[in-house]
Structure 1
């Protein structure tokens, strides 16, 4: 039985200090670790943070583990798993190329942990008030006709397409090229910055066309409409310079360090059992981002209100501490 550790998940950063060496030469995921510590990647959007904080809270307060939440971007998270300095990514959006590199058909340092219960949808969005004024704007031809509505001082004669963080999964430039849209991508820099800008324009009923996704708590606050592109088909996004289709739907999944799986530890079993819904994630994310709650406090509120959900994640035979 893991021992109690101090309250509060430690928040660490994983960056250049990882000294990213070639992962093809040697399996590095067996680096010695404290078996009472679980190391969870913390990627840069609040929905992910909501999931990670709830899992950290239950692991810490109900199972007695120490938890390290380690801030790291999406792709470096996989490198960190490969090098043995992380144990799990809790929300993966595709990244088949990284699974080929690090998974069973590559060097074998990571394992697909199966669905986390969240359904991921990426797309282009406009506020509902724009569709009311220009009903055709959510079609490809209608959007093409009205790109001038989105012009800004920064984009000049082109309309602005507002992106989030440059490191997010994206095929936007390929869609712009394939559909011959007179648009220029401007990156807000982060999810938080993008939300701030979208909310500002929404409050003033200004035009805005932007990359967005679900699960995302802002979808519960603003009335947004997704632009309708041809459905995704296998292979249509293989050439990212020209993508004549919409984004695919993602069954979001967990990615484990192979050595962590091999331990069969109750912490691994707990994370393997974990699934929850978009509504669950959005509830916690909204408390963090919109209500300004400390992430640990938001996780505690959700855990206290949903014992029937999280208790099913506890491995059989393991007695929670409360």
Structure 2
């Protein structure tokens, strides 16, 4: 869910828009504040949107924000637009925020989200019941994923704690002999994956798509009991009658959300944000350019803007 440190612009810097024209000339000249998080795809999505808004004549400010805690700022209008709220991990927080009437869902980005526990294919030899989650309950399987830090429990490398995801709750509800160790950053998460695969070392970790990793490496996601909303909200649902989260993570859309006041203050910008769409193939290719091929987010976004001018022009006209 990175290369925020590669951003050529300061996350808090106001970026001047292009010469004001069209709808933007009649709207507020205050900067539209877009939130930045800590994974490459979100930085790309956000900078594309910011670049499009600049072309329409708006001033844009990029603000580093916590993925879930950002809703407090969106509710007050201190933040204005968040380009990636994942159905897989952020739906609950999004629903709470939109229920206040102060935050609005601007619709899907076009990206389809999957986030789940993932293992490289060579680990099936040591845990032959995979991808069935019940295989993880076997002591020999847990030991295969164990480290000196977690033994005799297996080690699950989760994403940064700000991503949410209920992994600790899932382990407890399903009585899995595993311990969650959180990666500090997105970059650290995937650096450990690459290191483990080069050594064919045991690794079980949070992988998400769209991303280059599940395309580059042979492996699979653990098949947990299928998610339903009741799994998260009703402890009586599912395998464990006393605890929620006894299932896998939801799959689905990646949403755009905004401060409700954006429609009145910058109606043209809100219209453009609603029109924004991109797909997993495009995003996967851009993430690969940044994470694997050493390009900056700025360069990748600039290239996309050049190649897709006819497309994004339609969002602002």
TM-score between the two structures when normalised by the length of structure 2 = 0.83
In structure 1, stretches of 5+ residues that fail to align are 1-7, 14-32, 316-322
Instruction: Please point out which of 173, 179, 187 is paired with 2:174.
Output: 179
1:192/1:82 CA distance change after superposition, 3 Å: same
How far apart in 1 are the matches of 2:116 and 2:94? 23
1:79 is matched with 72
**Residue 144 (str. 1) matches residue 137 (str. 2):** yes
2:38 is matched with 44
Task: Say whether the 8 Å CA contact 2:85–2:94 is kept in structure 1.
Answer: no
Q: Following TM superposition, by how much is the alpha carbon of 1:125 offset from its aligned partner in structure 2, in angstroms?
A: 0.4
2:148 is matched with 153
Task: Say whether the 8 Å CA contact 2:196–2:203 is kept in structure 1.
Answer: yes
1:76/1:266 CA distance change after superposition, 3 Å: same
In structure 2, stretches of 5+ residues that fail to align are 1-7, 14-26, 236-242
The count of aligned residue pairs is: 286
Instruction: Please point out which of 263, 287, 311 is paired with 1:261.
Output: 263
Q: Following TM superposition, by how much is the alpha carbon of 1:111 offset from its aligned partner in structure 2, in angstroms?
A: 0.8
In structure 2, the residue corresponding to 1:245 is in which secondary structure?
Answer: coil
**Residue 89 (str. 1) matches residue 89 (str. 2):** no
2:274 is matched with 272
1:112 is matched with 105
How far apart in 1 are the matches of 2:196 and 2:94? 39
Task: Say whether the 8 Å CA contact 1:39–1:86 is kept in structure 2.
Answer: yes
In structure 1, the residue corresponding to 2:248 is in which secondary structure?
Answer: coil
Q: Following TM superposition, by how much is the alpha carbon of 1:242 offset from its aligned partner in structure 2, in angstroms?
A: 4.2
How far apart in 1 are the matches of 2:292 and 2:77? 35
2:226 is matched with 231
2:238 is matched with none
- Structure 1 runs of 4+ with >6 Å offset: none
Q: Following TM superposition, by how much is the alpha carbon of 1:10 offset from its aligned partner in structure 2, in angstroms?
A: 5.2
1:131 is matched with 124
How far apart in 1 are the matches of 2:63 and 2:195? 31
Task: Say whether the 8 Å CA contact 2:127–2:136 is kept in structure 1.
Answer: no
How far apart in 2 are the matches of 1:135 and 1:34? 60
Instruction: Please point out which of 280, 283, 287 is paired with 2:285.
Output: 283
How far apart in 2 are the matches of 1:233 and 1:78? 24
How far apart in 1 are the matches of 2:187 and 2:202? 19
1:309/1:67 CA distance change after superposition, 3 Å: same
Q: More deviation in 152-161 or 235-244?
A: 235-244
How far apart in 1 are the matches of 2:65 and 2:148? 33
Task: Say whether the 8 Å CA contact 1:93–1:169 is kept in structure 2.
Answer: no
1:11 is matched with 11
Q: Following TM superposition, by how much is the alpha carbon of 1:301 offset from its aligned partner in structure 2, in angstroms?
A: 1.3
In structure 2, the residue corresponding to 1:137 is in which secondary structure?
Answer: coil
Q: Following TM superposition, by how much is the alpha carbon of 1:277 offset from its aligned partner in structure 2, in angstroms?
A: 0.7
2:185 is matched with 190
In structure 1, the residue corresponding to 2:44 is in which secondary structure?
Answer: helix
Structure having the larger proportion of residues in helix:
2
How far apart in 1 are the matches of 2:67 and 2:229? 23
2:53 is matched with 59
